[in-house]
Amino acid sequence: DAKTTQPPSMDCAEGRAANLPCNHSTISGNEYVYWYRQIHSQGPQYIIHGLKNNETNEMASLIITEDRKSSTLILPHATLRDTAVYYCIASSNDYKLSFGAGTTVTVRA
């Protein structure tokens, strides 16, 4: 699976949109981009995934660049409960998810 690179941390204000970047410059054509998050001392939670097209669900939006070398997860209206570690994962299937260091997102009131 392709290596992903994320900033180690970021802060955002409650009620504002949070944009989380992820680089996956070596991603192959059959690899999806997955986003999970982990709130402290809990199991990870699935957020969204995509292959080529932008995706949106009730939690977030995923914007994938045309060359697929990077993506951005958008939390449209961040709340304090969105404080967590966010993981961007490139995987050709969901049999194995390789978690990197992720981005620690802190939402401040």
Partner 1 sequence: GAVVSQHPSWVICKSGTSVKIECRSLDFQATTMFWYRQFPKQSLMLMATSNEGSKATYEQGVEKDKFLINHASLTLSTLTVTSAHPEDSSFYICSARDLRDSYEQYFGPGTRLTVT
**How far is Cα 103 from Cα 92, in angstroms, rounded to an integer?**
22
Helix-strand-coil percent breakdown of the chain, rounded to 5?
A: 5, 45, 50
Minimum CB distance to partner 1 smaller for 11 or for 94: 94
**Stretches 6-14, 60-68, 75-83, 97-105: which one binds partner 1 (CB under 8 A)?**
97-105
* Contact in structure between 107 and 10 (CB atoms under 8 Å): no
User: What one-letter code names the amino acid at 45?
Assistant: Q
Q: Which helix (H) or strand (E) holds 36?
A: strand 32-38
**Binder of partner 1 out of 11, 46, 79, 108 (CB under 8 A):** 46
**Binder of partner 1 out of 87, 88, 105, 107 (CB under 8 A):** 87
**Binder of partner 1 out of 102, 103, 105, 107 (CB under 8 A):** 102
Report, in Å, the least distance between residue 49 CB and partner 1: 6
100 binds partner 1 (CB under 8 A): yes
